[in-house]
Amino acid sequence: MSFLHCHGKMEDGSACGWGQDDFWKEDGYNPISFLQKDSDLNHNLFREKMYFDKWFFQENPSIPYKQDEKGVYCRGRDYIIWELRRKANNIEKMLVTTWEEWLKVRDTIKCPRCGGREWDID
């Protein structure tokens, strides 16, 4: 996997920080590979309560949550909805989807956030 991100600067001198999901492979990682049958998605969809640290919900306010004597939780379906939206967002925001595509455009594309070409791949 390769995470493409920008080390450019914004007009105010702050770091750009733009990044995208890892490059995809049809037979390897891609944003929907988590849907494979080994996934916990099906099981989690039917869970009444999924417990997380409270900071998780604070960082993801679109997930409705409650609290009981055991901790902070959401319904499994609400977690799955959030996860599917997050994955769809990753797909939508991809500038370059595969390594092969990157090799073709790496000298010509500009960062969608700062307009620079200070690319790095981890």
Task: Please identify which residue in the block is written with the tokens 């769809």.
Answer: 88
Between residues 52 and 28, the one the model is more confident about:
52
pLDDT of res. 1: 57
pLDDT of res. 38: 60
Q: What is the pTM of this model?
A: 0.76
Domain ranges (residues) in the chain:
1-24+94-122, 35-92
Instruction: Kindly report each contact of residues 85-91 with a partner whose C-beta sits within 8 Å and lies 24 or more positions away, as own/partner.
Output: 87/31, 87/32, 87/34, 90/20, 90/21, 90/31, 91/21, 91/31, 91/32
Alpha-carbon distance values, 77 to 5, 7, 19, 71 (Å): 32, 37, 28, 18
- Dig out the tokens for 34 from the structure: 């988590």
Quick one: which of 85, 78, 87 has its CA closest to 47? 78
Per-residue pLDDT reduced to its tens digit, 33-58: 877 766 788 889 999 999 999 999 99
**In whole numbers, what is the pLDDT of the chain averaged over residues?**
92
Task: With a cut of 60, say whether residue 67 has pLDDT above it.
Answer: yes
Q: How far apart are CA 56 and CA 94, in angstroms?
A: 24
With pLDDT > 70 as the criterion, what percentage of the chain qualifies?
97
Per-residue pLDDT reduced to its tens digit, 2-18: 889 999 999 999 999 99
